[in-house]
Structure 1
Amino acid sequence: MKNHFFKIGILLICVSLLSACTNSSTSREEGEDKHIHFLYNFSTNSLDPHVDSSYVPLRAGITETLVRIDEENLTVEPWLAESWEGEDGQHWTIKLREDVTFQNGKQMDAEAVKISLERALKESVAIQNALKIDKIEADGNLLRISTTEPFPEFVSELVNPNVSIIDVTEEDIVNKPIGTGPFLLKSFTPGSKLELERYADYWDGASNLDSVTFSFNEDANARTLALKSGQVDIVYRPEVESLEILQENDDIKVESTATFRVHQLTMNMERKSLRDVNVRRAVDALIDRQQIVERILLGHAEAATGPFLPSLPFAPSYEEHPMGEDIAVKYLEEAGYTLQDGKMQKDGEPLEFTLLTYSARADLPLIAQVFQSDAKQIGIDVKIMQIDTPEEYMASNRDWDLATYSNLTAPRGDAGYYLNATYHPTGALNFSGASEPELTAIIDKLNQTVSQEERAVLAEQAADYVNEHVINSFVLHPSTIVAYNEKKVINWLTTRSEYYMITNQLDVK
């Protein structure tokens, strides 16, 4: 932690020097193009919307989905689809808007949407498992979809950015996808930035902006300095330690918005030591959640007791469990471990963990360091391994024990997305390798249940099972923090879903 505070001091000095020699004024000259530079915390090397785990094409305003989230009411609302019906939960008719064109001028009709969805299904096993589509038929502006089983929440799954609608007849989808959104891609430098220009024929009204730069930097300190110096206009997730400095600048507005995200400690249940629930309980007991909220997030978070925010109707009320090093040691003793020569061991083998983390979320490596330090106090060596793309690494490698990971748990106001993705054997985010028949049965029943009251009960049952069996540990619910130049930027909205960023409403003064 000493290095951490030293880093803060360096940041303060750098910002002071930078602000002293930089004019932060960004007033626009008469006749100058309207342009915004947005700096995001995750980079991507591919803009294929059907597989990009950073969801950049949708976030950058290039692509759109058939339906979207109503951020205020947390319900699904029409977007490229005008309406839909499917009373039996298995046979769906979706009516598309008739005034939508792709950014190459081609009309978006049911046939174009059909082949886009079919490509998404082909490219992503995760989408296959999520949508459960059996057959798609196109008829003018009507799309008829049958699922393999009754699936009442099917339409809400179409919110997923990986189901964005694109013109699949274009040659280079990886580097230049053609969507229906308000901004057309001019150029893409993998891992660095996108240059976007207004799509004049956008169906929902052309943007007032002429162009947008959507760039990436996974260093939170660098993102903060870029805003402070006037190099960029909007920064997603600036460094938390720098917020006070940013708030002192009259030109900069900082927004902190509660979202449906959880920072969790994912447990690889395929590893020998973690197959024992008492070892998992010991790991969970070592996490000092409130200390992490206060010292690392500086209060911009809420300590987690489960995956879902307590305010959600399907979040269980958990009994408070004792935590701390002494409790962790008791669990380990129940698992057969003893402390010998300063090492926690069993049958002569020391208990050691490889802990994955990644820098795109600046607080996760710090959480990993706190856990490493606390584990050392009871004789457990934790090796921290930095990775770039957590989804790719965890899905392809099983040489790790624990991972700091951040996940949206209820981006659609419903528990189904997270439970299916994270705990169903076919889930795209089931990195723990959980395959629990009882839990799977609850999720399968949830998928076929229409009543919101019954769904809430089933979601609680699933969350209780996860809690009782300690399939992953939940650390905190972070706020999404965005800082921007309010002397220039108009109509920026920090969304709870974290999906919609560069919109046709965004403007400059």
Structure 2
Amino acid sequence: VTTSPPATNLASQPIGTGPFRFKQWNRGDSLLLVRNDDYWGAKAKLQEVVFKYFSDANASNNALKAGDIDVLGAVQGPEQLGSFRGDSRFKVNQGAPTGKIIVSLNNATGNAALRDPRVRQALSYAVDRKAFVEGVEAGYAVPIGSHSVPNPSEPYYADMTKIYTRDTGKAKQLLAAAGYASGLTLRLDLVTEFPYAQRTGQILISELQEIGVKVQAQTLGFAEWLQRDFLDGNYDLTVINHTEPRDIGNYGNPKYYWHYDNQQVRAWLGQADAELDPSQRKDLYTKIQRQIADDAVNLFLMSPDSLSVQRANLHGYPQSLVSPAIFLGGAYFS
């Protein structure tokens, strides 16, 4: 609880208790943090940290090469790494996979066809995860079969990648059984700010076309996506990287943007939250992961590696990020 300064402008003047504290924000350009000498733990080794915002990958690459920045922490795609490998001035970090790139399916408020699990299962049988791993992330990713990743931050991960392997014949059979033997048309929303979404969309359109599903792609900005797709539920398919660790609990919320409603999953999630025995909790989460995969709630594609590039003389920068948070308390230059 804080009484001074008043916590009325947290969006522009955040208050924290970490090794750094907020000093200045230049909207769209930079964020300045300074060392918090009142921090209860080990004091940060750096006096200040500046986060710079870039809307273009080439601009951020050039800034690192020119010495304007020290870390490229948000690698937009593996193609950014090529010019840094083999250069002794830089170090390329490849950390553990974290996020979950999925094709979100609107289970209730979009195209009525997607309310039929057979249609969603058909889409799952149509995709080749290896094609996405290579075509989108150049191999810097691992396939996933449900909403969890093989990362120490998610101890209850279970491998569900064998539930659906590419089988266009099976996909067509399921579509026919659901009444769509002649195919159907779905709208795919792709956020312009996310290069991975654009690349994923290209592969997805090609693969679904093979089973008679026509995909009409639309591009939109992230702000519009948040309103139209996430809040209003006005979409059929969309590509998003869910970076929050252990967020499988969203499948217990029918109002969440994919509108999945399964009473058994909600019950298991409640039991898992209350279960103190780790093995029993793991069993429950395995059941949950299996159920949402069987129901083909979404197309679970891959978890990209944590990729970053830093100056070789920088130490203590985290390589594996369990969320978009970056802990810099131990960072220093030699």
Query: Under TM normalisation by the shorter chain, which class is it?
Result: 0.7 to 0.9
Unaligned runs of 5+ in 2: none
Relative contact order: is structure 1 or structure 2 higher (C-alpha 8 Å, sep ≥ 6)? 2
**Residues 331 and 221 of structure 1: is their aligned pair in 2 closer, same or farther, counting only changes over 3 Å?**
farther
Alignment partners' CA distance in 2, 1:228 and 1:254: 13
TM-score by length of 2: 0.88
**Residues 182 and 360 of structure 1: is their aligned pair in 2 closer, same or farther, counting only changes over 3 Å?**
farther
Displacement of 1:248 in angstroms is: 2.1
> Are the counterparts in 2 of residues 375 and 382 from structure 1 also a CA contact under 8 Å?
no
**2:129 maps to 1:289:** yes
**2:333 maps to 1:508:** yes
Displacement of 1:490 in angstroms is: 2.2
> Are the counterparts in 2 of residues 262 and 475 from structure 1 also a CA contact under 8 Å?
yes
Who is 2:41 aligned against? 204
Displacement of 1:439 in angstroms is: 1.4
**Residues 171 and 444 of structure 1: is their aligned pair in 2 closer, same or farther, counting only changes over 3 Å?**
closer
> Are the counterparts in 1 of residues 175 and 181 from structure 2 also a CA contact under 8 Å?
yes
Alignment partners' CA distance in 1, 2:200 and 2:85: 25
Who is 2:239 aligned against? 404
Aligned 1:134-173 pairs, distance under 5 A: 169-173=6-10
Aligned 1:234-249 pairs, distance under 5 A: 234-238=71-75, 239-249=77-87
Aligned 1:40-55 pairs, distance under 5 A: none
Alignment partners' CA distance in 1, 2:163 and 2:139: 21
Who is 1:306 aligned against? 146
Alignment partners' CA distance in 2, 1:260 and 1:209: 27
Displacement of 1:492 in angstroms is: 1.0
Unaligned runs of 5+ in 1: 1-111, 116-166, 345-350, 412-416
TM-score by length of 1: 0.59
**Residues 217 and 435 of structure 1: is their aligned pair in 2 closer, same or farther, counting only changes over 3 Å?**
same
**Residues 443 and 235 of structure 1: is their aligned pair in 2 closer, same or farther, counting only changes over 3 Å?**
same
**2:158 maps to 1:315:** yes
Alignment partners' CA distance in 2, 1:486 and 1:393: 43
**Residues 393 and 259 of structure 1: is their aligned pair in 2 closer, same or farther, counting only changes over 3 Å?**
farther
The alignment's C-alpha RMSD in Å is 2.5
Alignment partners' CA distance in 2, 1:185 and 1:197: 7
**2:201 maps to 1:368:** yes
**2:89 maps to 1:260:** no
Alignment partners' CA distance in 1, 2:292 and 2:143: 17
What secondary structure does 2:319 align onto? coil
**Residues 287 and 220 of structure 1: is their aligned pair in 2 closer, same or farther, counting only changes over 3 Å?**
farther
Match of 2:298 among 458, 472, 483: 472
Give me the identity figure in percent: 20
**Residues 375 and 207 of structure 1: is their aligned pair in 2 closer, same or farther, counting only changes over 3 Å?**
same
| Partner amino acid, structure 1, of 2:301 | V
Alignment partners' CA distance in 1, 2:161 and 2:315: 42
**Residues 456 and 474 of structure 1: is their aligned pair in 2 closer, same or farther, counting only changes over 3 Å?**
same
Displacement of 1:373 in angstroms is: 2.6
Aligned 1:40-439 pairs, distance under 5 A: 112=1, 169-238=6-75, 239-270=77-108, 271=110, 272-309=112-149, 312-316=155-159, 319-339=162-182, 344=183, 351-377=184-210, 378-389=212-223, 390-408=225-243, 411=245, 417-420=246-249, 422-425=250-253, 430-439=256-265
What secondary structure does 1:296 align onto? helix
**Residues 395 and 302 of structure 1: is their aligned pair in 2 closer, same or farther, counting only changes over 3 Å?**
same
What secondary structure does 1:380 align onto? strand
| Partner amino acid, structure 2, of 1:503 | L
